[in-house]
Structure 1
Amino acid sequence: MGVPQLGAGGGPATRPERDLVIDLARFFCLGIVVVGHTMMVSPVLHADGTVTTENTLGNQRWFEPVVWVLQVMPLFFVAGGITGLRSWQRLRARGGNAFDFIQARMLRLIRPAAVLLAVMFTGLWAARLAGVDPEVIQLLTAGAGMPLWFLAAYLAAQLNLPLLAGLHSRAPWLTLAGLVALVVTVDCLRGTLPLLAYANMIFLWCAVQQLGFIISDSWLLNLRRSALAGIIVASNLVLGLLVLLGLYPGNMLVNLNPPNLTLLFLGISQAAALQLFRPVLARLARVGWVQKVVALAGRRAMTVYLWHLPLLAAMSGLLLLTRFPQPAGGTAAWWWARPLVLLAVIVLLLPVLALFGRLEERPTSSGHARPRPAAAVVTAAVVVFVPVSDAALNGLTLGLLGGGAACFVLATLLLGRVPARSPADAPPGGSGPPLPHPPLSANVEP
């Protein structure tokens, strides 16, 4: 049940109820990513002074079947489709347009990233001036910048959401089929045109996002549990067949960047699993302490995601300069040290969250402020995607890190602040639910 509120016309309006299951799913995904990275990053100092990094967990043969379950990026985009569509529908009901939606979404995502890029550039440039080997600087730059690909893909999907939502409202299955056809076309041509494979960072993740639209329409809720289980089994069987035929690698980490069709089948399986286990997840999510932890983490999820890997890389790099024991990756001592590494990353995240966590909150100005011009919003999107596309195609460098920070700050200035719509701005009769007041939940976004 929603919480009764007064609508614009004085009548009752209903505040949309937070979907605790989506909050919990996002928290689970974030936890899997952070824990997984602590078991992957393993810098090695060689006798000649050079430093390389190993993906210890990714190099384990037994991990390939496990990652079919733990590759949770599709679930991130399914959840983003659910919450994004609901946010767009609320905004439209209050008279907002696509540029208002894009402005709010970009500000929510790029403000934390702008600070991260600026801090990374400053710290690594200072390290270079202090005489740290440029090879080490580049290694830390490339490793710490890995989370930015997710930011680029998620932004691309969310900025296309108003267009895709309109197509979905008219022809949901045809829209999904069209996106899947584009994904397959890109996969077929990626052998002859390797750079074209990166187009699936848009097509693939938009297709997975559409699965969230389908859940938001309650279509999966009308299916029997046996049907949901059948979808899970069928999608994994098709995925297994694609791998057995040699069309795609079996390692879902390899399939992640640039993404391919395999992740769509994982997304289908995870979307069905989310609905199949929804009753159990709902009971767990309503537990008091679980709800508090999940809500707190959800309001700072982007900060945690963006900062955890740079902090892990910096900590690992600094330890190489000390006499602290450095067990070889994959050894028993290395595995036993992982809980300590995870704890250290969490401790390092706490001051970062205290300093920069508020950048995720919706930057709202006076209710009488005017929205930004469409040209400013479009320019900001271009300014953001120029360095992001360069990094995706050519890798992140120290110079690009500084240029990216400048571009993100410029985009933030172009976007300004989001005008808070007063009750008088709502459609006559109070149609359309009000936007939630801060602090925003993990899944009710402006």
Structure 2
Amino acid sequence: MGVPQQKRPPRQASAVQNVRAPERDPVIDLARFFCLALVVVGHTMMVSPVLHADGTVTTENTLALQDWFEPIIWIFMVMPLFFVAGGITGLQSWRRLRASGGSGFEFAQARLLRLVRPAAALLAVMFAGLWAARLLGVEPQVVELIVTGAGMPLWFLAAYLAAQLNIPVLAALHHRAPWLTLAGLTALVVAVDCLRGALPLLAYANILFLWCAVQQLGFILADAAPGSLGASRLVGIIVASNLLLGLVTGLGLYRGNMLVNLNPPNFCLLLLGVAQAAALQLSRPLLVTAAAAKWVRAVVGLAGRRAMTVYLWHLPLLATMSGLVLLSDLPKPSAGTAAWWWSRPLVLLCVVSLLLPVLALFGRLEERPTASAHSRRRPAAAVLTAVVVVFVPVADAAFNGLTLALLGGGAACFALAVLLLGRMPVRALPAPADAAPGDSGGPLPQAPLSANVEP
């Protein structure tokens, strides 16, 4: 008689397996994909390096120099829509975390990890590659051109993080008085705009106030009851916000060029955000139908899982490619000429081709870090230190410009922040009263506008 084999104990399910993923809102996914695609395409028509006869290298924003572009950018300046969507998803994510017993520090830890890890990899690779290029004798001006390309996405990272890290506080204010909170943030935006002439550096305060106000529009959409915002009301909001935008620019209070109004941001971007939030809600039935197509779901889902990597890397890759073209004997049509415009589809194709291996190598850094069931939240001091470590080099770059040395320092700071934040803790949601033993429970009841819940 053989000895009976002892049965292996079943593997203990991890906390990750016990947490049920919430349903994603395909409209928000599609809106984000549209914004990302438009940004990538737009940048290929904006970045134009110029090699002058004296050997100096400068960059031109070709679109900004076109007279017809200013009214067009009113439609295609989609940065406010990014923050509206971020407000919808961020509010739902915070509410789920809070319902499972999480804290604001855990929320900040998750947000920082999600955004800082891909950025740390970008800065490290760029610093190593450009330092090697300098050692190999590449023209310093070309290196600086590429460094500038690496720094341009960082302002968005700083602005988005600043808004997202304030979600726990802003959500509490929104719960008590949503419209009063939005009015207060709007008043701060206008106050900063009024004082920026006397105190130019004060204008950068709107990187926080303005984008938090736009994010608050997402809060309002997330809590809007079905049918509470009728089509006629939404159309009225779109028309009124654009008329007011035309008034303040027509009177000369603000520039009509929305690219100029973007950095540092001002009240015009809030008006655009109001119009875009209303347009998103108005077009929701059409977007639901479009997002239901299989091929749309596949493309949007693939791009959505790597959105931050695409955003962070596409401009540095475009700048690197432009620098290599300057060093080569390839044709260099003057910006804005017919030959230059015809070359744009080829430039876009090259950027997308370069992005594919980058996504394969670094895209996984965006995914939620795998954590064991015994993961613990980081101390509050570690999270706060990580916030400071991240924002110090970003603020330096915003005020003084990005240099090769600062690129290396930023990479070190971001890597330190990742080490301070550790691995993301996983919390099981509270089980409902009728849940079976061992069941971790279903998701937090969704608001009328179901939103994507990010880590």
**Bin of the TM-score, shorter chain as denominator length:** over 0.9
Give the corresponding residue for 1:42.
48
Give the structure 1 partner of residue 156 of structure 2. Answer: 150
**Counterparts of 1:100 and 1:316 in 2: how far apart (Å)?**
41
Matching of residue 444 in structure 1 with residue 453 in structure 2: yes
TM-score, normalisation: structure 1: 0.93
Matches within 5 A, 1:159-178: 159-178=165-184
Map residues 177-192 of structure 1 onto 2, 5 A cutoff. 177-192=183-198
Q: Which residue of 1 aligns with 2:286?
A: 280
Deviations 1:54-92 (A, max 9, x none): 111111010000000000000000000000000001111
Map 1:372-391 → 2, pairs under 5 A: 372-391=378-397
Q: CA deviation at 1:295?
A: 0.8
- Structure 1 Cα separation of the partners of residues 395 and 56 of structure 2: 29
Is the 1:95–1:427 Cα contact (8 Å) retained in structure 2?
A: no
- Offset at residue 433 of structure 1 (A): 4.0
- The letter for the 2-side match of 1:327 is P
Superposition deviation, residue 136 in structure 1: 2.3
Instruction: Give the match for residue 205 of structure 1.
Output: 211
Number of matched residues?
428
C-alpha change, 1:442 and 1:363, in structure 2 (3 Å) is farther
State the percentage of identical aligned residues. Answer: 75
Structure 1 distance, partners of 2:370, 2:380, is 18
Q: Distance in 1 between matches of 2:284 and 2:443?
A: 26
Q: Which has the larger radius of gyration?
A: 2
What's the CA shift string for 1:245-283, capped at 9, x where partnerless? 100000000000000000000000000000111100110
- The alpha carbon displacement at 1:427 in A equals 6.1
Retained in 2: the 8 A contact 1:94–1:427? Answer: no
Q: 2:331 corresponds to which residue?
A: 325
Structure 1: 5+ residue stretches without partners: 1-12, 436-440
Offset from partner CA, 1:376-427 (integer Å, 9 cap, x none): 000000000000111111111111111100000000000000122246xx36
Determine the C-alpha separation between the residues in 2 that align with 1:321 and 1:391: 27
Name which of 216, 223, 239 aligns with 2:245.
239
CA distance in 2, matches of 1:300, 1:192: 42
Whichever residue aligns with residue 309 of structure 2, its letter is T
2:70 is the counterpart of 1:64? yes
Alpha-carbon RMSD: 1.8
Three-state SS of the structure 2 residue aligned to 1:44 is strand
Corresponding residue to 2:106 among 100, 110, 131: 100
Matched, 1:86 2:76: no
SS of structure 2 residue aligned to 1:213: helix
Correspondent of 1:253 among 242, 247, 259: 259
Secondary structure of 2:63's partner?
Answer: coil
Aligned pair partner of 1:19 in 19, 25, 28: 25
- Which one-letter code corresponds to 1:309 in the other structure? L
Residue 150 of structure 2 is aligned to residue 141 of structure 1: no
The two structures have a TM-score, normalised by structure 2, of 0.91
For residues 89-122 of structure 1, the C-alpha deviation after alignment (integer angstroms, 9 at most, x for no partner) is: 1111111110111000100000000000011111
Gapped runs of 5+ residues in structure 2? 1-18, 445-449
Contact 1:23 1:442 in 2 (8 A): no
Residues of 2 paired with 1:280 and 1:154: CA distance? Answer: 28
